């Protein structure tokens, strides 16, 4: 993170690194595990059939790769956005365009596997900023990390997201 003279990274932004945002509660249910798996095209019965999943040693229907639960939607509170959304971070960036640069999912199967019936708490923090000059011009890359903890207090997954503003 070199400090170019024209850097858009401010002290406020540096102070925001590592600060966890508000928690989001996500529900992992049979209906949404199946819907997610169906929409991807999965065929493995562990994502659909509770008896098959249990026969393979899981607590219930397994959450398919990339599915970390559905945020609780409530029109009254405007909630229901995916965890990892920025919200009011208390800083502004002089770029108007935003791209989702990519997403990585990390699982911790030794701790626990996410299954239908789980309630997951997710918290997102900024892990760093980078600046670069690409074909789109100068850009700010924001790296974010969301930690997913299940109802037994086990960290079951992390999501690493890259946001590109230019």
Partner 1 sequence: MAQVYFEDIKVGDEIPQLKKNCSTQQLVLWAAGSGDFYQIHYDKDFAQNTGLKGLIVHGALKNAFLGQLLHDWIGEKGQLRRFGCSYRGMDEPNQDILCRGVVTKAYADGGNHFVELDVWTEKPDGKKTSPGTAVVTLPSRS
Partner 2 sequence: MADEFEITDEMRAQFGVDSAPWTYEVTTTSVRMYARGIGSDDPVHYDVDFAKSQGFRSIVAPLGYLGTPVFLPGKNDPTFGFPRREGGPRLNIPFKGLLDGGTETEYFDVICAGDVLEESSHLADLKLRDGPRGKMLFVTNESVYKDKATGKVVAKQKLTSIHM
**Contacted entry of partner 1, partner 2, none for residue 29, CB cut-off 5 to 8 Å set by kind:** partner 2
**Contacted entry of partner 1, partner 2, none for residue 85, CB cut-off 5 to 8 Å set by kind:** none
How many of the other CB atoms lie within 10 Å of CB of 14? 14
* 34 vs 123, beta carbon nearer partner 1: 34
Question: Binding mask 43-72 vs partner 1 (x if CB under 8 A, - otherwise)?
Answer: -x-----------x-------xxxx--xx-
| Binding status of residue 162 toward partner 1 by CB under 8 A | yes
**Three-class HEC string of the chain:** CCCCCCCCCCHHHHHHECCECCCEEEECCHHHHHHHHHHHCCCCHHHCCHHHHHHCCCCCCECCCCCCCEECCECCCCECCCCCCCCCCCCCCCCCCEEEEEEEEEECCCCCCCECCCEEEEEEEEEEEEEEEECCEEEEEEEEEEEEECCCCCEEEEEEEEEEEC
What is the closest distance, in whole angstroms, from the C-beta atom of residue 165 to partner 2 in the complex?
29
Q: Which of 14, 17, 42, 128 binds partner 2 (CB under 8 A)?
A: 42
Size of the site for partner 1 (CB under 8 A): 31
| Binding status of residue 7 toward partner 2 by CB under 8 A | no
* 14 vs 45, beta carbon nearer partner 1: 45
Kindly identify the residues of this chain, within the stretch 75-114, that bind partner 2 according to CB under 8 A. Answer: 75-76
Q: Which two tokens stand for residue 66?
A: 């990339």
Scanning 5-13, 83-91, 94-102, 130-138 for contacts with partner 1 by CB under 8 A, the matching segment is 94-102
């Amino acid at each position: 993170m070199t400090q170019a003279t024209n850097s858009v990274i401010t002290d406020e932004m540096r102070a925001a690194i590592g600060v966890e945002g508000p928690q989001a509660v996500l529900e992992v249910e049979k209906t949404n595990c199946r819907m997610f798996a169906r929409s991807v095209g999965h065929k493995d019965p562990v994502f659909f059939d509770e008896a098959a999943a249990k026969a393979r040693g899981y607590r219930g229907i397994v959450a398919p790769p990339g599915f970390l639960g559905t945020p609780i939607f409530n029109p009254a509170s405007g909630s229901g956005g995916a965890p990892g959304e920025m919200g009011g971070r208390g800083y502004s960036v002089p770029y108007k365009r935003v791209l989702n640069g990519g997403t990585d999912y990390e699982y911790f199967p030794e701790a626990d596997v996410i299954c239908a019936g789980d309630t997951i708490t997710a918290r997102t923090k900024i892990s760093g900023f980078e600046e670069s000059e690409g074909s789109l011009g100068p850009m700010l890359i924001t790296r974010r990390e969301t930690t997913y903890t299940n109802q037994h207090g086990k960290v079951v997954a992390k999501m690493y997201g890259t946001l590109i503003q230019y």
